[in-house]
Copies of this chain bind each other. A is one copy, B any other.
Amino acid sequence: MSSHNFKQEIFDQFARIGKAVSNGRRLELLELLAQGKHNVETLADMCSMSVANTSQHLQNLRQSGLVNASKIGQHVFYSLSSDRIVDLLAVLRELAEDNLNEVNRLIQQYLQVKDDLEPLPRADLVQRAEDGLVTIIDVRPGLEYDSGHIPGAINIPLSELDKHLSEFPTDQEIVAYCRGPYCVLAFDAVKTLRDKGFQARRLEDGYPEWKRSGLPVEEKMPG
């Protein structure tokens, strides 16, 4: 094999990882899997895709080695094969934010609130939590909370938020987080809380990024 061929072939291999993340639906799946294991039908529901199509994308991700599959009973549970994938998603996000005007247009348009809703950096949340100054709420679905969350956070899925308003302190800031910086759950939660007169802010990004940055987490035993 010539050096020329080697170079081409090795870059073609790297490109296989690129191909895996070259499709928006697959990126959605990866973000969901970053919250924890999920089976095919659940993933299909959450992405509003047909089961067959979801399965096809998952096969694709599996062949790139980005996800693992394990059969438990009748279900096939998929999971990320490596924490590094959270880094990959983060870099893609940052580069898209920096380089694609379209991204900022979308954010402005859908999340108009962005300006007066400056998100809270991770490090700041750690400090305030230590000082006992905040209530942290995890607004993801219960199953995702169960498979891992920020210590001290209470789980209130967005759909349940209305029922729990009376439990929140009015003299303390409430910090909401969800799946990631562009997941709309926390945005919506903060909006609801603010409309009701609470002091609410959004964490700068979601649980996977928190965990990935080495900060402490509460997880149920693996298995």
Of residues 1 through 57 on chain A, the ones whose CB sits less than 8 Å from some CB of chain B are: 1, 3-4, 6-28, 31, 48
- A13's partner among B15, B66, B102 (CB-CB below 8 A) is B102
A92 on the B face (CB < 8 A): yes
16 contacts between A and B (CB under 8 A): A1-B109, A7-B28, A7-B183, A11-B27, A11-B28, A11-B182, A13-B24, A13-B106, A15-B22, A15-B24, A15-B27, A18-B23, A19-B22, A65-B95, A65-B99, A87-B91
Q: Which residues of B contact A184 (CB under 8 A)?
A: 3, 6-7
Which chain A residues have a beta carbon within 8 Å of chain B's beta carbons? 1, 3-4, 6-28, 31, 48, 64-66, 81-82, 84-85, 87-89, 91-96, 98-100, 102-103, 106-107, 109-110, 182-184, 188
- A17's partner among B14, B20, B82, B92 (CB-CB below 8 A) is B92
CA–CA, A45 and B84, complex, Å: 34
- Could you tell me if A91 and B91 are in contact, using CB atoms closer than 8 angstroms? yes
Q: Which residues of B contact A9 (CB under 8 A)?
A: 106
- Could you tell me if B10 and A100 are in contact, using CB atoms closer than 8 angstroms? no
- Most B CB contacts (10 A, CB to CB) among A9, A16, A17, A27 go to A17
With contacts A66-B99, A99-B81 known, is A18 near B27, CB below 8 A? yes
- Could you tell me if B15 and A21 are in contact, using CB atoms closer than 8 angstroms? yes
CA–CA, A102 and B15, complex, Å: 12
- Most B CB contacts (10 A, CB to CB) among A27, A64, A82 go to A27
CA–CA, A82 and B9, complex, Å: 26
- Residue on B nearest A23 in the bound complex, by CB: B15
- Could you tell me if A14 and B18 are in contact, using CB atoms closer than 8 angstroms? no
Nearest-neighbour CB distance to chain B for A51, whole angstroms, equals 18
CA–CA, A20 and B9, complex, Å: 18
What are the 9 A-B residue pairs with the smallest beta carbon separation, nearest first?
A65-B99, A18-B21, A12-B24, A18-B22, A11-B24, A22-B22, A19-B22, A15-B24, A6-B110
